[in-house]
Structure 1
Amino acid sequence: MQVPPEHLRPFADAWRGLTIADLAEQRAGEDPEFAALIDDMRALTRREWLADAHALAAAMRARGLRAGDVVAFQVPNWHEAGVLNLACAIAGFVVNPIVPIYRDAEVRQMLRDCGARAIFTCTEFRRFDFAQMALRLRDELPDLDFAFTMRGAGADDYATLLDEGRAMPQERAPVDPNGVKMVLYTSGTTGLPKGVLHSHNTVEHILRTSYEHWGVAVGDAIIMPSPVTHISGYANGLESPLVSGTCVILMEAWDAAHALSLIEEHGVTGTVAATPFLVELADAARDAGTRLPTMRWFACGGAAVPPDLIPSAHEAFSNLNAFRVFGASEVPLVTYGWPQDETLAATTDGQVVTYEVRVVDEAGNDVAPGTEGEILARGASMMLGYADADQTAAAITRDGYFQTGDLGNLAPNGAITITGRKKDLIIRGGENISAVEIEDVLRTHPQVRDASVVAMPHERLGEGVCAYIISAGAPASVEALCRHVQASGLAKQKTPERFEFVEDYPRTASGKIRKDMLRADIREKLES
């Protein structure tokens, strides 16, 4: 891939040309003892973070990893993930964050697709042995030479690597800020995850400009409950302390009462998180009789946001500005929200600030302001492309716009409002779930002739998974279908939460399934 690719070259002047390795040295020089990354185990200062990252980079090089190699990691929100991410920037490795909900089937496909040479996992977490999965996959995948652990034991554990690296020379590989920094997989409508490629420049740009818009200052504390292996958790959790000088408090798992305690302890000023977290934090604050006066901003997205949610949250806090934002792994934060306008913050999905946006009809023609169409976006924070060149060509227009697959309208004041989706995806608590891959698994059950999977309303997570089944003979039990999906190796979150058994599907004249009608059907059933 030529970097920067053609669609990003018009935005080159917006980049600073710095990697987080450059920024880590700057931050450590400014205030070495500032606690930059905090989890339940450790408060990591800037000096310690940089020293540990150099040690880990040296140890990985000594094991045989070279600049350009892909290093995957599938771990919870632990400070070690931040050390690994910085170590990879120092050594010139490409990171591949993998969300911990994924199991053998998804992880195998991702590692194979990107040719990862190493993976770091936790050992056992939430009753699943990630280390054993990594060893199984290492035996299967020819490119995967190393299966390292974090918070484990033995020669291939993170702690051992740190000890080895401390005695080795500190070196930095020459790294092009325009080059590939990360490959992050996101569910596609075809069922196979797509490898989204970002550079050092694209990630740095989105953080720097969004934080400037939200008034985030050096030294501000941010709480991060979103997975650091997801685009928002990765950027705001692992990178913002280096890009913007913040202190990030990582949460291994979301718990509103614990979040409230951490906010009060550390004087947290804001976060970027899924919508349910805002609802539950507001409820916890009311129950505890506190108004969390240090909290100034909450950017929420990843699930539907009812218009009354924002005003209700504001009533629970003293100084909070909550606002909706819109984006995707391919185009992070197309909108930055409306922090200073409660009405627009509650009724739209944010203000376009640094992107160029078009809204087009089925023929690709621009529609009038306020008219629904597909949202296209381009800008300095846009992905380099997909790992698959054909997927890139299909997703980016000739004039450099990414086709989001989301339907919405753009007002003259720059406000985007999302109205629907062209993509066959389910967004469950901020995670994209492909309907196609669940359908493919269900169709392999001997008692299933066809399966159609759609999103259904979910009170907490925004959307859940509903499967419409046409049976082959006697219908299978719901329990049997759930076991069948779980046995396939898909993440447990992809197991449908509801099954509807039907004789046939509503279809278009050409025979295409009318999923919009299935979504309407399950919505009506749940409402009644």
Structure 2
Amino acid sequence: MDGLMMDQPLLLSDLLWRTERLFHDKKIVTYLEAGSYHSYTYADFAKRVRRLSSALVKLGVRPGERVGTIAWNHYRHFETYLGIPGSGAVVHTINMRLFPEQQQYIINHAGDSVLIVDEDQIPLIEQVAELGIPSVRAFVVMGDKPLPDTALAPIYRYEDLIADGDEDYEFPVLDERTAAAMCYTSATTGEPKGVVYSHRAMVLQTMCLAMHDKLNMSESQVWLEVSPMFHVNGWNIPHTALMQGATLVFPGVRPTAGDYVQIVQDQKITGMNGAVTIGTMMRDFIRSSSQEWDLSSLKTMWLGGQAPSRAIMEWWERYGTCVVQGYGSTENTPQVCFSSIKSTLANGSPEDIYALRQKQGQPIPLMKIKIMSDNGLELPWDGRSAGELWVQSPFTASAYYNDVRTKEHMQDGWFHTGDVGCIDPDGYVVIMDRVKDLIKSGGEWISSIDLENALAAHPKVREATVIAIPDEKWLERPLACVVADDKSLSEADLRAFLAERFAKWWIPDSFLIVDTIPKTSVGKFNKKELRALYSENGMRGIEQHLEIVQDTVA
């Protein structure tokens, strides 16, 4: 017997239908330059989205075609989030921080037919075009300046294009499994892998994030979207803010840590999301600033990419800001878990609460998760048994786009994450490491993440990362790279600090106190680069590449 319900598809355009009627007067704000902002209403936004959709149809973009974007976080880029899939095409956000050769690969693999780019990205796109992107038949430039003198052709101004669009354009009714968006993973080995999101997956994930024990994204929120919009749809935050009618604030072109702090004060930001490095950079800016900043409005800071340390959590509490975290990946649209405190655990001691907040959280609704041993056995949720995390949900990828690596990661209806962790009896997930980042020393496993979190908790440490380096006796040993907050920091300090927390054999044999740690295009520590430097020329390879503050190598 079938249920007698209307068979209405879940489409991104339906989020817009709700918002332009219920929250038509709420604002989308973009930081332009020191002290100035662009602001318009969701009603204005909806008209421009429809103009864009109709303009793309006039341009010859057909349903299912990929339209690439290479842009910063701003209102025009957000219009493409709805305007491109609203027409039946697929918005493909491209990481602007990649090398031209990597961007060429991604554009060609996706088969983008149109590229919509920020005006400051034109020199980069010219390099990519010279390498060869035969599927691209038009370029659209976002910005306020006249079209640049360029060999790219045909080329259009974004504003001219949508001026000829129809603000009464009717979005087609699509199958909810139609592709809406596309992102590529920042692969650790080989070429990036393409993930194609359906309208259904994105709407379901948006609804999950809005729940009160997740982000609690509500109409009263004023949310700053710092996470790059080219990275997993900005963690799906823009869609969630849109659905709920929250005031949505974008940091604009080439923002700095100081800009983020200024925006929080100016716009009375209540919540923001970004990489852990963003929270650290903002802290460092405030520390070095002679100005007193009013950041009392900021209640939630969601930091991702890696686990935020207890030290950064405690530092932000002086402003009444709660640092939260989650766990996800490109393949999961992106959230798998979100960290919130169950009411039955809320009365624990401060130490218990911090320990809970250091975990990656519980699976979000509709997400199933299990831990699997190397020999294929499912492990118990006891907080101790560690294995690879497998996940399954309506918003988890079933395959990579035209990629033979699908069979390595998607098997029997489960996505094999490549992350090693455990789950406690209350369902809180703890990520111990990536499979590739675990350190096997003398036959025993050492978690680089645990060491990093411990080092980051040292009061004189700003950042820390740990990699495995070859060892003749033990096979592998940990090497720690540390950025100091205090020039007096020494190797002896670090060793003594870790000795209180770990067995002796866990403590790195080697420490480097450096000026900076290389990061990936999405703000994570670039362990791949560090391992490559070591592989090429040992410890000297890393020392020559990084600015060594102190010689602390054991």
Contact 1:327 1:335 in 2 (8 A): yes
Query: How far apart are residue 169 of structure 1 and its match?
Result: 6.2
Q: Report which stretch shifted further, 221-230 or 153-162.
A: 153-162
1:469-480 → structure 2 map (5 Å cutoff): none
Alpha-carbon distance between aligned partners in 1 of 2:9 and 2:436, rounded to the nearest angstrom? 34
Aligned counterpart, 1:84:
80
Alignment of 1:234-245 (within 5 A): 235-236=236-237, 238-245=238-245
Cα deviation per residue 1:65-110 (whole Å; 9 max; x = unaligned)?
1111110101111211111221112211101101110232111111
- Match of 1:242, SS state, is helix
Deviations along 1:110-160, whole A, 9 cap, x unmatched? Answer: 1111111111112325xx7134235436xx333221122212534512112
Distance verdict in 2 for CA 1:68–1:358, change over 3 Å: same
1:352 to 343, 358, 363: 363
Which digits, 9 at most, give the CA deviation of each residue in 1:173-193, with x for residues without a partner?
Answer: 232222211110003344111
Aligned to 1:30: 22
Sort the Cα spacing of 1:258 and 1:189 in 2 relative to 1 into closer, same or farther, 3 A.
closer
Query: Residue 159 of structure 1 aligns with which residue?
Result: 159
Aligned length: 434
Stretch of structure 1 that moved more, 106-115 or 284-293:
284-293
**1:298-337 mapped onto 2 (5 Å cutoff):** 298-314=301-317, 316-318=318-320, 320-331=321-332, 332-337=334-339
Change (3 A) 1:234 1:313: closer
Pair 1:142 & 2:134 matched = yes
C-alpha distance after superposition, 1:409-441 (max 9, x if no partner): 1111111111111147999xxxxxxx9xxxxxx
Equivalent residue for 2:354, pick from 319, 340, 343: 343
Amino acid at match of 1:21: S
TM-aligned CA distance change 1:173 to 1:424, over 3 Å: farther
* Residue aligned with 2:15, SS: helix
Equivalent residues of 2:398, 2:415 under 8 A apart = no
Cα 1:232–1:150 shift into 2, 3 Å: closer
Do the aligned partners of residues 254 and 416 (structure 1) sit closer, same or farther apart at CA in structure 2, a change above 3 Å counting? farther
The residue type paired with residue 407 of structure 2 is: A
Q: What is the correspondence of 1:30-179 to structure 2 with a 5 Å cutoff?
A: 30-40=22-32, 42-125=38-121, 129-133=123-127, 135-136=129-130, 140-151=132-143, 153-154=146-147, 156-166=156-166, 170-179=169-178
Structure 1 residue runs of 4 or more that deviate by more than 6 Å after TM superposition: 424-427, 501-505, 524-527
Secondary structure at 1:294's aligned position in 2? Answer: coil
Unpaired stretches in structure 1, ≥5 consecutive residues: 1-12, 428-434, 436-453, 461-492, 506-521
The answer to whether residue 386 in structure 2 is matched with residue 372 in structure 1 is: yes
CA contact under 8 A between 1:122 and 1:131: conserved in structure 2? no
Note if contact 1:199-1:384 (Cα within 8 Å) is conserved in structure 2: no
| Structure 1 residue 345: Cα displacement | 4.6
Cα pair distance change 1:258/1:39, threshold 3 Å: closer
Q: Which amino acid aligns with 1:359?
A: I
Equivalent position amino acid for 1:335 in 2: C
> Does the CA contact (< 8 Å) of 2:113 and 2:135 recur in 1?
yes
Structure 2, gaps ≥5 residues long: 148-154, 347-352, 439-447, 450-466, 468-477, 485-525, 540-547
Provide the C-alpha distance between the structure 1 equivalents of 2:272 and 2:375, rounded to a whole number of angstroms: 39
Q: Measure the CA separation in 1 of the matches of 2:482 and 2:160.
A: 44
Say if 1:189 and 1:290 are closer, same or farther in 2 by CA, change over 3 A: closer
**CA apart distance, 1:392:** 2.8
Instruction: Name which structure has the greater RCO, CA cutoff 8 Å, separation 6+.
Output: 1
Give the aligned residue type for 1:208.
M
**Partners in 1 of 2:373 and 2:57 — Cα distance?**
51
1:408 to 421, 446, 451: 421
- The residue identity in structure 2 corresponding to 1:348 is K
Aligned-residue offset at 1:291: 5.8
Q: Is the 8 A contact 1:131 1:147 kept in 2?
A: no
Q: Measure, in 2, the Cα distance between the counterparts of 1:39 and 1:141.
A: 32
> 2:299 matched to which residue of 1?
296
| Coordinate RMSD, CA, aligned | 3.5
Aligned-residue offset at 1:389: 5.7
Structure 1 residue 51: Cα displacement = 1.0
User: Larger deviation: 35-44 or 293-302?
Assistant: 35-44
Aligned partner of residue 201 in structure 1, secondary structure = helix
Distance between the aligned counterparts of 1:37 and 1:68, measured in 2?
31
Deviation at 1:194, TM superposition (A): 0.3
The equivalent residue for 1:441 is: none
Q: CA deviation at 1:47?
A: 1.3
CA 1:391–1:37 in 2, change beyond 3 Å: closer, same or farther? farther
Instruction: Give the whole-Å Cα distance in 2 for the aligned partners of 1:201 and 1:526.
Output: 53
Q: 1:353 to 1:76 in 2, by over 3 A?
A: closer
**In 1, distance between residues paired with 2:535 and 2:411?**
40
Q: Residue 47 of structure 2 aligns to a residue in which SS?
A: helix
Task: Kindly provide the amino acid, as one letter, of the partner of residue 352 in structure 1.
Answer: P
User: Partners of 2:55 and 2:196 in 1: how far apart?
Assistant: 26
* Superposed displacement of residue 289, structure 1: 4.0
Q: Percent sequence identity over matched residues?
A: 19
TM-score, normalising length from structure 1? 0.74
CA contact (8 A) 1:311 1:346 kept: no
Contact kept, 8 Å, 1:409 with 1:417, in 2: the verdict is yes
Per the normalisation by structure 2, the TM-score is 0.70
**Are 1:264 and 2:274 counterparts?**
no
8 Å Cα contact 2:20-2:43 kept in structure 1: yes
For 2:226, the equivalent position in structure 1 comes to 225
2: CA distance, partners of 1:234 / 1:149? 25
Return the match for 1:394 from 394, 408, 412: 408
C-alpha distance in 2, partners of 1:339/1:419? 20
